[in-house]
Amino acid sequence: MKKIILCLFLIGMLVGCSEKIETVKKEDWEVSPTFNIPVTFGDGTKGEYVLVGEEGRIGFLVGSGKEGEAEAQPIIAGKGNKYMWHFWGEKEEFEGNLKVVGINEKGEEHKVLIRNAGTPNSEKVWEYPEVGISPNNGADTHVPSGMEFPTEGLWKLNVYIGDKLFGEIIVNVEES
């Protein structure tokens, strides 16, 4: 009898702890900040790009505008869009394929990286070829891509270059 009571107690503790952990994980999800980088547009005017992510490390373009007027545009569920990824780091960190794994608030994993941005009718892909070095807008390298989020809500994007996690970005995807 004592063993049964002990087992039930331990099971109750495990269930209670796992529920607490899940709650903490969801509460810790804060939308990543945006930051601006300066740019000179093709016509010579000064402007800014708005990126979401971690300034000086990783971000993708979500808006642009004249200097001091740039605004982020919403990310819409079910609507694919082009995004320019920007990365800052050491040359060795950019060896490998780019892979983005999205996890929604329910913990469901989705492969959100799609189409090569330069090819409108290309099929969906899971990894992009070697990232390499391609400086742009003050970043050490950049990669164009398209992404689509199947549902609204918070999404955590785990960004890998090669087999290593390069960074994570949390975005709020709005209803279509």
User: Could you tell me the pLDDT band of residue 7, with boundaries at 50, 70 and 90?
Assistant: very low
Please compute the mean of the pLDDT values over residues 137-162 and round it to a whole number: 92
Domain positions in the chain: 1-30, 31-174
**Residues 63-84: b if buried by 16+ CB within 10 A, e if exposed:** bbbeeeebeeeebebeeeeebb
Tokens of residue 10, six digits:
């331990």
d(CA 101, CA 22): 19
What predicted TM-score, i.e. pTM, was given to this entire model?
A: 0.78
Distances (CA, A) of 47 to 59, 67, 107, 163: 18, 4, 38, 35
Query: In the predicted model, is pLDDT for residue 33 greater than 60?
Result: yes
**pLDDT attached to residue 60:** 97
User: Could you tell me the pLDDT band of residue 120, with boundaries at 50, 70 and 90?
Assistant: low
Query: In the predicted model, is pLDDT for residue 23 greater than 50?
Result: no
**pLDDT attached to residue 148:** 86
Query: In the predicted model, is pLDDT for residue 173 greater than 80?
Result: yes
Task: Yes or no: say if 173 and 77 are a contact pair by the CB < 8 Å rule.
Answer: yes
Q: Which fold has domain 31-174?
A: Immunoglobulin-like (2.60.40)
Q: Could you give the count of Cα atoms lying within 13 Å of 47 in the half-sphere of its Cβ? A: 15
**pLDDT attached to residue 145:** 85
Query: In the predicted model, is pLDDT for residue 71 greater than 80?
Result: yes
Query: What is the phi/psi pair of residue 16, to 5°?
Result: -60, -45
Please compute the mean of the pLDDT values over residues 65-84 and round it to a whole number: 93
Kindly state the DSSP code that residue 136 receives in the 8-state scheme: B
Please compute the mean of the pLDDT values over residues 79-107 and round it to a whole number: 92
**pLDDT attached to residue 125:** 56
User: Could you tell me the pLDDT band of residue 123, with boundaries at 50, 70 and 90?
Assistant: low
Please compute the mean of the pLDDT values over residues 49-59 and round it to a whole number: 98
Report the percent of the chain where pLDDT is more than 90.
Answer: 54
Burial of 147 (0-12, 13-18, 19+ CB in 10 A): buried
Please compute the mean of the pLDDT values over residues 39-53 and round it to a whole number: 95
